[in-house]
Amino acid sequence: MKTDVVIIGGGPSGLLLSQLLNKAGIGTVVLERRTRKYVLSRIRAGVLEGGTVDLLERAGCGDRMHREGDPHEGCYLSTERGMFRVDFRDLCGRQVMVYGQTEATEDLYAAQDEMGATVIHEAMEVMPHDLDGDPYVTYEKDGETHRIDCDFVAGCDGYHGVSRSVIPKGKKEEIERVYPFGWLGILSRTRPAADELIYANHPRGFALASMRNANLSRYYIQVPSDDDPEAWSDEAFWAELKRRLPGEVAETMETGPSIEKSVAPLRSYVCTRMRHGALFLAGDAAHIVPPTGAKGLNLAMSDIHYLSEGLIAHYKDNDGAGLDAYSDRALRRVWRAIRFSWWMTSILHRYPEQDDFDQRMQEMELENLRDLDAARRAMALNYVGLPL
Ligand code: FAS
Ligand code: PHB
- Minimum CA distance residue for ligand 2 atom 7: 294
The Cα 50–Cα 58 span in angstroms is 12
Cβ of 32 closer than 6 Å to ligand 1, yes or no, is: yes
Q: Report the atom number in ligand 1 closest to the C-alpha of 262.
A: 34
Name the band, by pLDDT with cuts 50, 70 and 90, for residue 248: very high
Point out the ligand nearest to the CA of residue 344.
2
Is a pLDDT exceeding 90 seen at residue 172?
no
The Cα 39–Cα 21 span in angstroms is 21
Per DSSP, what are the bridge partners of residue 213?
216
The catalytically annotated residue of 139, 291, 314, 349 is 291
Is a pLDDT exceeding 90 seen at residue 101?
yes
Q: What is the pLDDT of residues 279-309, one digit of tens each?
A: 999 999 999 999 999 999 999 999 999 999 9
Q: Amino acid letter at 105?
A: T
Residue 195 CA, ligand 2 centroid: distance in Å: 14
Enumerate residues 6+ apart whose C-beta is below 8 A from 355. Answer: none
Q: Is-contact 160 126, C-beta < 8 A?
A: no
Q: What is the pLDDT of residues 223-241, one digit of tens each?
A: 999 999 999 999 999 999 9
Ligand 2 test: best mutation among 99, 101, 102, 197, most atoms within 8 Å of CB?
A: 197
Is a pLDDT exceeding 90 seen at residue 91?
yes
Q: Tell me the average pLDDT across 244-267.
A: 97
* Active-site residue flag, 383: yes
* Active-site residue flag, 199: yes
Q: What is the pLDDT of residues 200-219, one digit of tens each?
A: 999 999 999 999 999 999 99
Ligand 2 test: best mutation among 218, 266, 298, 299, most atoms within 8 Å of CB?
A: 218
Is a pLDDT exceeding 90 seen at residue 4?
yes
The Cα 370–Cα 85 span in angstroms is 8
The catalytically annotated residue of 179, 199, 219, 306 is 199
Cβ of 185 closer than 6 Å to ligand 1, yes or no, is: no
- pTM for this predicted structure: 0.96
Q: What is the pLDDT of residues 134-163, one digit of tens each?
A: 999 999 999 999 999 999 999 999 999 999
Point out the ligand nearest to the CA of residue 340.
2
- Minimum CA distance residue for ligand 2 atom 4: 46
Q: Tell me the average pLDDT across 350-364.
A: 94
Cβ of 298 closer than 6 Å to ligand 2, yes or no, is: no
The Cα 59–Cα 57 span in angstroms is 5
* Active-site residue flag, 72: yes
Q: Tell me the average pLDDT across 38-56.
A: 95
Strand 152-155 and strand 279-281: pairing? parallel
State the pLDDT at residue 324: 98
Q: Report the atom number in ligand 2 closest to the C-alpha of 291.
A: 8
Is a pLDDT exceeding 90 seen at residue 60?
yes
Q: Tell me the average pLDDT across 30-45.
A: 95
**Strand segments (E) across the chain:** 5-8, 28-31, 47-48, 70-72, 74-79, 82-87, 96-98, 118-120, 124-129, 136-141, 144-149, 152-155, 174-188, 198-200, 207-213, 216-223, 258-271, 275-276, 279-281, 287-288
Is a pLDDT exceeding 90 seen at residue 362?
yes
State the pLDDT at residue 88: 98
Q: Report the atom number in ligand 1 closest to the C-alpha of 293.
A: 25
